Structure 1
Amino acid sequence: MRLMVMFDLPTDTSQQRKQYRQFRKKLLNEGFIMIQYSVYVRVCTTRSAAEFLERRLKNYLPDQGIIQSLMLTEKQYSDMHFLLGDEIEEVRNSSKRTIVL
């Protein structure tokens, strides 16, 4: 299971830029990795773990902007097609990172 977070946050004022940096830092601290500008993803072991993480993210929301989340299965995520650019082969961005106990 993957949890993808996409966002579009305003950065017009210094306060908005601060909230943007804080939100992005919280995503990184929660284990998300950037797959595109303003698109972050994290591997979760189960759907309930992804739902729990989504609820945690609600504590970090800035005052303005748009933040969307999407839960994807490993199959759906692996069916992603690269139309331009090179696929990045990193362990932290693959299902090899998932350990089933």
Structure 2
Amino acid sequence: MSYSALNQYRIMWVLVFFDLPTETKKQRKEASKFRKKLIDDGFAMFQFSIYLRNCPSRENADVHIKRVKSILPEHGHIGVLKITDKQFGMMELFISQQPAAKPEVVQQLQLF
């Protein structure tokens, strides 16, 4: 695989933002099930209602976005954002006004 296939414009990040109702036991169960399915698909928690996943290509990112769409809960607000690794790298993170490190990229095996 050439360097161009793995450059910062080809590698993608998929971010899933959600605000799900949790007032009833059934709603809490649905919200928990949605989060578990995200984790099962390789997403990691970035903040409580923001999960992200690194993908080696736009095509791979589209596969994971399709999976997210297939598990949408009945109620709540869900957003999905696909950005390049270059764009993700420009993000500034802070914890209590102190600069923070970006999440580590999990190396994933890519099969052809």
Instruction: Indicate the TM-score class for this superposition, using the shorter chain for normalisation.
Output: 0.7 to 0.9
Of 38, 57, 63, the residue aligned with 1:46 is 57
Tell me the number of residue pairs that the alignment of Structure 1 and Structure 2 aligns.
98
The alignment yields a C-alpha RMSD, in angstroms, of 2.1
Show the 5 A alignment for 1:14-53.
14-53=25-64
Determine the structure 2 residue equivalent to 1:6.
17
Greater helix percent: which structure? 1
Provide Cα deviations, 1:48-93, integer angstroms capped at 9, x if missing partner: 1111111111221111000100001011001010243452465xx3
Letter in 2 for 1:23: F
1:88, 1:79 → 2: CA distance?
Answer: 12
Q: Once superposed, which parts of structure 1, at least 4 consecutive aligned residues long, lie more than 4 Å away?
A: 98-101
How far apart are the structure 1 equivalents of 2:102 and 2:76?
31
| Structure exhibiting the larger radius of gyration computed from Cα positions | 2
Cα distance between partner residues in 1 of 2:63 and 2:102:
28
Identity within the alignment, %: 39
- Which consecutive residues of structure 2, in runs of 5 or more, have no partner in the other structure? 1-11
How far residue 98 of structure 1 moved from its aligned partner, in angstroms, is 5.5
Q: Distance in 1 between matches of 2:109 and 2:85?
A: 13
Task: Confirm or deny: 8 A CA contact 2:18 2:76 kept in the other structure.
Answer: yes
